[in-house]
Amino acid sequence: MATSMKRHLAAVGAVAGLSVLGLVANPAIGSAAVTSAATVTADEGKGTISIAMTGLNTTKAFVKCEGTVYQPDATVLDKTTKVGESFLIEGEKMVAGQILVDASGTGTSATFEDGEYQVRTKCKEDGDTDYQDPIPVSKVTVTGGKGTAPAGGSAEDPLGAIAGLINGVLSTFGS
């Protein structure tokens, strides 16, 4: 009985060892990974942000890549700190449903107000529930945009924004 148990345990150990060896030899089987280089820039004088991705590789079927802009001081990048709409990064070889090898693409945002922002470049492969980040979050300074937030306030400080707006109107009529 003990000999039978030892043989059974040895067989289980051998199978587990081979499985681990297979994952080391081919990590794509064990996990998805999007890899790429990218350049994130504020388009001087235009108020937009551009992302250029190169060397984009996926281990599963490609779904999409996009850029998302966040408040400059955000420590959590989610819908509560997101600014504007995400924008797609597209390229000739960035075909949904295909495994990508050395693909490249670009994307440009809508126009933002002048100021600093954080930009997240994120991609999805087939089966991903969350986005993958092939590069770290970048910080950019936008110029030539829609102007700046009203003096004395911002979206985070609505009362200050209202006070700034009222002061601006009153100064126009000479208070």
For residue 53, give the nearest of 64, 43, 45, 61 by alpha carbon. Answer: 64
pLDDT of residue 163 exceeding 50: no
Beta carbons of 4 and 25 less than 8 angstroms apart: no
pLDDT score of 38: 95
Considering the entire predicted model, what is its pTM? 0.67
If 0-12 CB within 10 Å is exposed, 13-18 middle and 19+ buried, where does residue 34 land? buried
Q: What is the mean pLDDT of residues 33-54?
A: 95
Q: Which residue has the higher pLDDT, 28 or 97?
A: 97
